[in-house]
Amino acid sequence: MKVRLSDYTEDWKVMFEEEVKILKAIFGDEITSFEHFGSTSIPGMKAKPVIDMMCIVNEIEKIDSYNEQMKLMQYDVAGEWGIEGRRLFRKGGENRTHHLHFYQSDNPQIKRHIVFRDYLLANPEEASRYSQFKEALAIIALLKKHLFQQWRKKHLLGIYAFSYCHKAFSILRQTPLTDYYHDCLWRK
Same domain for 117 and 150, yes or no, is no
Between 161 and 155, residue with greater pLDDT? 161
Task: Kindly tell me if the per-residue pLDDT of 177 is higher than 70.
Answer: no
Same domain for 109 and 167, yes or no, is no
C-alpha–C-alpha distance, residues 53 and 86, integer Å: 12
Task: Kindly tell me if the per-residue pLDDT of 77 is higher than 60.
Answer: yes
Same domain for 117 and 157, yes or no, is no
Same domain for 42 and 95, yes or no, is yes
Residue 39 lies in a domain: yes
Same domain for 104 and 150, yes or no, is no
pLDDT in tens, 116-126: 999 999 999 99
Q: Which DSSP symbol is given to 95?
A: G
- Please report, in angstroms and rounded to a whole number, the separation of the first and last CA atoms in the chain: 64
- CATH assignment at residue 27: 3.30.460.10
Same domain for 33 and 85, yes or no, is yes
Q: What is the model's pLDDT at position 162?
A: 55
Between 186 and 23, residue with greater pLDDT? 23
- Residue 83: count other Cβ atoms within 10 Å of its Cβ: 13
Q: Which domain holds residue 37?
A: 11-122
Counting every residue, how long is the chain?
188
pLDDT in tens, 80-100: 999 999 999 999 998 899 999
Counting the structural domains of the chain, the total is 2
